Amino acid sequence: MQRFLTSASRSGEPGGASRVRRRALLGTAVLVLLVALAGLAAYLTRDGSATPNPHVPQLSSAPFPSTAPAASSPTPPAGERGKLPVAPSTRDPITFAKAAAVALWSYDTRAYSQPVLEAALHRWLTGEAQYADAASVDALVPSPVLWGRMADSGQFAIATVTEAHFPDSFTRALQADPGALTQAYVYAVTVSGRQAIAWNGAAAGGGEDRVTTLAVQCRPSQPCALAGVLPAVAP
């Protein structure tokens, strides 16, 4: 029985140091936002004459459950071929982050090549170069060499989301300065779920829980886009 991990290190590849710096910069940018802001939820819901900004979604630290509860160990459809992930057209950062997490945790070596999957995931990224961290997305895709080994065994994975929420630190930070969000409109969203993996001769495969914090840009005038994947999970 053969199984390969998709989170294999890629630090030895050319440009690895650059990828690490880029992910660190994204994490730093969001953390700076967390410190500079101070929680939009209390600001929008507090008693008084303040009026919520119609262009800023109300934030809540409560989990957003998926519409369909995931099974404890979902089984990938062995007879089906995976489709490339397509970003949804939504202005809700929670909805977008759920879809993005599923896209990042899913793959099918039987249906497409590694470069094709990376290109598809890059289309989820914001067109604003200063906020787009493609390296943090690429880090979640198996390297070309590992992909080839996985393809030899027909490995594929599907993912389900169990909940997604704005981290408490993010909502608290927005309370201090809600207006700071309007510069980049980048939201931190932590998504939890499960990844199920299967390969030739092991249709049931195996599964593992996954959790990640995504940076999602949702400007009022356009659908949400992915900014990147934070290097650490924000609870």
Q: Which helix (H) or strand (E) holds 217?
A: strand 202-217
Percent of the chain exceeding pLDDT 70 equals 66
pLDDT at 35: 41
pLDDT 10s digits, 166-177: 999 899 888 888
Return the pLDDT at 176.
Answer: 84
Q: pLDDT at residue 66 above 90?
A: no
pLDDT at 180: 77
Residue 140 and residue 23 in contact, taking contact as beta carbons nearer than 8 Å:
no
Nearest-CA neighbor of 215 among 141, 106, 128? 128
Mean pLDDT computed over 31-40: 40
Q: What is the mean pLDDT of residues 212-231?
A: 96
Domain ranges of the chain: 17-46+59-229
Please give the pLDDT value at position 104: 98
Query: Would you state the pLDDT for residue 91?
Result: 97
Least confident of 5-9, 21-25, 190-194, 201-205: 5-9
Residue 175 is encoded by which pair of tokens? 């309370």
Average pLDDT over residues 73-102: 84
Give the pLDDT band (50/70/90) at residue 27. low
The values of phi and psi at residue 192, to 5°, are: -115, 150
Task: Please give the Cα distance from 138 to 156 (Å, whole number).
Answer: 17
Rounded Cα distance, 221 and 32, in Å = 24
What is the per-residue pLDDT for 44?
27
The pLDDT assigned to 38 comes to 33
Q: What's at 140, amino acid-wise?
A: L
CA pair distance 186, 228, nearest whole angstrom = 10
The residue whose two tokens read 């519409």 is 67
C-alpha–C-alpha distance, residues 110 and 94, integer Å: 30
Q: Which two tokens stand for residue 21?
A: 């710096």
Check pLDDT > 70 for residue 107: yes
Check residue 206 and give its pLDDT. 85
Determine the Cα–Cα distance for residues 139 and 146; give it in Å rounded to an integer.
13
CA atoms of 183 and 23, how far apart (whole Å): 20
Least confident of 68-82, 125-139, 185-199: 68-82
Q: Give the pLDDT confidence of 110-123 residue by residue, as tens digits.
A: 999 999 999 999 99
